[in-house]
Amino acid sequence: MKTKSYLILCAVITIVWVATLTLVPAVSDTVEQLMIGFLSTYAQ
Amino acid sequence: MLRIVLQVIGIVVLFGAVTIITLKIDNMDEDGPSILFPGGELVTGELHSGPDPDWRFTDDIPVIELQLDNPMSSRRIFIMESDGKVYVPSGYMQSFLGRLWKDWAFQAAEGDGLAVARINGIRYERQLIRISEGESIDGIARKMATKYSGGAPDAVANIKKSISDGDTWIFELAPRGGATNEN
């Protein structure tokens, strides 16, 4: 992928993901549960 | 090929960074924490006054919301009652990830420890006092094992070892201005 297309993709991913995390509580809750699981496993 | 691999790695890193930054910023001024990320000042809920309640009611409550006054931030945390007093733990204190995750415990231990606990919608003004030794540790470890580790036979010993090793820190939620621990 060319650099310009890649940067556009990154920008789109960022905008869509930020909107999803802030507007859909079920998604952010699930992500946070996964992060707690990760930390509980690897923060030993 | 290398270019594609680097681009994929870049997107994965981007996802992680955007997730952490977004959730942290989204929660930092909220009235209470999210599941993982700290929130702001605990504002709503009746402010308790008068004598302390019988803290055994917390046996049925898995997590409470705990706010530090300095710096102002709040998080969800376990709670254990033992011998009429209440305690909160902070684990993973000796690992790199744990130190990032549980920075509040260092702030509480090094600062004034002033805190507000919101339990069942009622706010209690307290002072966090770290307990690292003494007879109270036995009761706290037993309660923690029963409540959060399913009462496994070796859980109490493991928790006591974790506390004595400094991997788990225990704080008493003491009344402000008057510690009730024996240390």
**What DSSP letter does each residue of chain A carry, written as one string?**
--HHHHHHHHHHHHHHHHHHHHH-HHHHHHHHHHHHHHHHHH--
ipTM entry: 0.91
Whether residue B47 sits in one domain with residue B21: no
- Please say whether the beta carbons of B133 and B123 come within 8 A: no
Closest approach of chain A CAs to the CA of B106, in angstroms?
16
Which candidate from A9, A18, A44 shows the least CB-CB separation from B22?
A18
Residue B180 lies in a domain: no
- Please say whether the beta carbons of B80 and B147 come within 8 A: yes
Tokens of B152: 């496994």
Interchain proximity B15–A9, CB inside 8 Å:
no
Query: B33: number of CA atoms within 13 Å, CB side?
Result: 21
Tokens of B87: 């305690």
Whether residue B77 sits in one domain with residue B17: no
Domain count, chain B: 2
Confidence of residue B1 (pLDDT cuts 50, 70, 90): confident
The predicted pLDDT at position B178 comes to 58
Segment B118-158, tens digit of pLDDT: 999 999 999 999 998 888 999 999 999 999 988 777 899 99
Whether residue B109 sits in one domain with residue B19: no
CATH code of B158's domain: 2.30.110.10
Residue B50: exposure state from Cβ atoms within 10 A (0-12, 13-18, ≥19):
exposed
Instruction: Tell me which residue range forms the domain holding B24.
Output: 1-30
Whether residue B159 sits in one domain with residue B131: yes
Taking the C-alpha atoms of residue B115 and residue A2, their distance in angstroms, rounded to an integer, is 52
Give Cα B8 distance to the centre of its chain: 36
- Please say whether the beta carbons of A9 and A2 come within 8 A: no
Whether residue B10 sits in one domain with residue B100: no
Interchain proximity B22–A17, CB inside 8 Å:
yes
Taking the C-alpha atoms of residue B90 and residue A37, their distance in angstroms, rounded to an integer, is 16
Name the residue of chain B whose CA is nearest to A44's CA.
B92
Interchain proximity B18–A44, CB inside 8 Å:
no
Q: State what percent of residues in chain B have pLDDT above 70.
A: 97
Q: What is the pTM of this model?
A: 0.87
Whether residue B141 sits in one domain with residue B63: yes
User: Alpha-carbon dihedral of residues B39, B44, B46, B47, nearest 10 degrees?
Assistant: 50
Residue B100 lies in a domain: yes
